[in-house]
Amino acid sequence: MRALARAAMATSPLPLLLLLLVAPAAQAQSLDVTGLWSIQMQTVATAKSGAVVIGCSFQGTADVVQTGSQFTGDAAVNLSSGGMTCPPFMSANLSGNVTGNTVSMGMAMGGGTFGTANFTGTVSTAPARGAGTTMSGTFTVTGGPFSGTSGTWNGTQQAPIAAVPALGAKGLAALALLLLAAALWFLLRRSALQRL
């Protein structure tokens, strides 16, 4: 009976198929976009009577925290090129999700003053992530005075800021003793030099 079951498993493509299905799922879940991102956005010039009639380019940063497949964060960008119809700077709350190496998110720009936008894109180095990882895609403004404006965006993950080492209680006590010993040594030396 066991020999028959082993023969059936050996000739059945089911175990191999299950392994192939589980591997991409595990790979898709490991992508994490948490971190600081340098971002650029470029609007496409519009010919209608909307608020934006020429292309606008923005540069800034986004700080993102991911839990599971969902992420939230804040973005702030400044105008790098464009005319007077382009806002000089924008800040936004963002939220979205990651599926495989695809990112989709929504932003409320200027707390909604400049409207809302939907962004979609792909992360280029999934599932490995770290400084230098890039993502890019397109966006469409869906509400506010710039509604109907679309464009492209890209982001590059920045290296994490190195933690500054701090002294614990024992380290602070040792530092205080060292400073006290140095002060006493200087006072004794100064007193000895004055006697000469």
Burial 22-55, CB ≥16 within 10 A → b, else e: eeeeeebeebbbebbbebbbbbeebeeeebbeeb
Is 33 within 8 Å of 66 (Cβ atoms)?
yes
User: Is residue 120 packed enough to be buried (19+ CB in 10 Å), middle (13-18) or exposed (0-12)?
Assistant: middle
List, for residues 98-151, the tens digit of each pLDDT value: 988 889 998 887 666 667 888 998 888 644 556 678 889 999 888 887 788 889
Tokens 């890039």 belong to residue? 134
Torsion angle of the four alpha carbons 102, 108, 109, 110, in this order, in degrees rounded to the nearest 10:
-150
- Listed residue (80, 25, 82) closest to 51, CA to CA: 82
CATH number given to 32-157: 2.40.128.120
Is 127 within 8 Å of 30 (Cβ atoms)?
yes
Distance from the first to the final alpha carbon of the chain = 104
Query: Does the model's pTM come out above 0.85?
Result: no
Q: What is the mean pLDDT of each run of 10 residues along the chain (196 residues)?
A: 45 37 42 87 71 77 91 91 81 88 84 79 68 85 83 87 78 89 90 82
* Per-domain residue ranges of the chain: 1-30, 32-157
Is 137 within 8 Å of 152 (Cβ atoms)?
yes
